[in-house]
Amino acid sequence: MRGTDEPDAALRRATQAVEAGARLIEWRIDALAEEPDALAAIKALVRRCPAPCIVTCRVCGEGGDYGGTEDHRAEIFEALVRADHPPRYIDIELAAYQRDTRLRRAISAALKDGERARDAHTSLILSVHDFDRRPADLLQRIEAMTNEPACSVIKVAWQARSLRDNLEALDLLAQRAKPMIALCMGRFGLMSRVLAPKFGGLLTFTTDRSAEMTAPGQPTIDELQNVYRFQRIGPPTKVYGVIGWPVEHSLGPSIHNAGFEAVEHASAYLPMAIPPQYEHFKATVGAMLDHQHLGFRGASVTSPHKEHLLRFVADRGGRIDALVERIGAANTLVVSDEGFIECFNTDAPAAREALCAGMGIERSALAGVRIAVLGAGGVARAVVAGLVEYGATVVVFNRSPERAEALVASHKAATGGRGKVAVGKPDAIAGDRFDVFINCTPIGMAGGPAADESPLPDDVPLDENVTVFDTVYMPQRTPLIQQAQAHGARAISGLDMYLRQAAMQFERWTGCQAPTEAFAAALKNQ
């Protein structure tokens, strides 16, 4: 809670946060500390707080807004610790505590006096923050906090450069000599925040407003409680996720965590952003698999890593499903308790069933249907394989004709030349007649490179006899879906395919029938 709020408004927010599940409130008094009569206002916030609280007055150099003197800050902290209603914790940066003798002596004396004078006393959090990278001397700083007698809690937070930073933060928690908070910041840091209880972290930080974070990458209380089921995470929790670039748009965490809750599976499903290159995929997934205590048991794998997953499993000597071999791409990683890995493709059957359901036909009726597939990546490979198998005629269009040619060649090689599949010229897509158009590119995807565009040119003939199927599911009404509906064509959202393939993944991981009602409820809440 920011001290810039009016006290009554700040306390209302704190009460709402506690009602939503918060167990501890942090008062960030950076700006308030420099106001006239600041101490009285801060004491009132602490006294009236609906839960135990941390008081933090963060200096500018470590991500805060306090620009006053250290003497003034020391006076406020000392007075709070000695007050009749002291905060449960005060948070002071290690660097300031080591540098300022006045601050160190005043806080140490006040903490001892408070502990002797009353049952409810204040504990000291010493903290280290780096908003650029992992500090080179991180371990030395942790040792200094460990050896400081007045320090009750060690806190370290740094900007993660990859998911692998989380693994070190979690290891630090597991090896702690004192109660510890170890968090990674930024888009890669969510894992350290959500999985803190699994490794014995004292707490994690969240926000009641998505637009107001005290550090980059904080989840909201609602996300932490209702999506990630934070209160249920502990040492037995198994870890799953969605791997892609980007993944922030994914509905996977909402539906799979709701599914785990429904079948009482002790697991957590997280977004796992991995940059596009295979080297990043190999290093990151390999590190998660090899981590002794993470409990990584599988992942949904989306663009651009579906072909990388197949390569990775082959390199590690895992099992590759026959359909994956034929498609040349996988979207599901399964890891046994013994560490054996397998990959599957649930896109192909899910896309086929979603298309047939949308058109109101049986699979056998696909024979002779002319289908234009847009794209040549992992999704396109799966769609082509699933449709050609049932006799559809498929033409692949891609901005890079070479990738389309490679897809067709690999499909023919894998099937011995069976099936009707060919490469189309991108500038000729409007000159032929197709019964179905299927978008397998990220064009139109929220958060993608062309979120406001349609992959189909305006001059492509669309009418009530044509079906348009967009495998993009966020948003549901993509620009392509809107284009199809405007011309009277049948439009199939990617959400149906997504839910079908997710259900198949869930069953592979858990051995339980997918709780589709829980999936649907989670989507409605989302």
Out of 43, 112, 306, 524, the active site residue is 306
Distance CA 398, CA 451 (A): 18
Edge to edge, the sheet with strand 370-374 lists: 420-423, 393-397, 370-374, 436-439, 467-470, 490-492
Six token digits for residue 378: 């992992």
Assign residue 63 a region: left if phi > 0, alpha if psi is -120 to 50, beta otherwise?
left
How far is Cα 260 from Cα 265, in angstroms, rounded to an integer? 5
Q: Reduced to 3 states, what is the DSSP secondary structure of residue 396?
A: strand
Here the contacts of 481-490 (C-beta below 8 Å, separation 24 or greater) are 482/454, 483/454, 483/456, 483/458, 487/462, 487/463, 488/462, 488/463, 488/464, 489/462, 489/463, 489/464, 490/358, 490/359, 490/464, 490/466
Structure tokens at 274: 């991995």
Two structure tokens written together for 213: 């974070």
φ and ψ at residue 343, rounded to 5 degrees: -130, 145
Nearest to 5 by CA among 39, 37, 45, 40: 45
Tokens describing residue 332? 């599901």
Q: Is 43 a catalytic residue?
A: no
CA dist., res. 33 & res. 279, Å (int): 48
The whole-angstrom separation of Cα 281 and Cα 437 is 31
Active site residues: 306
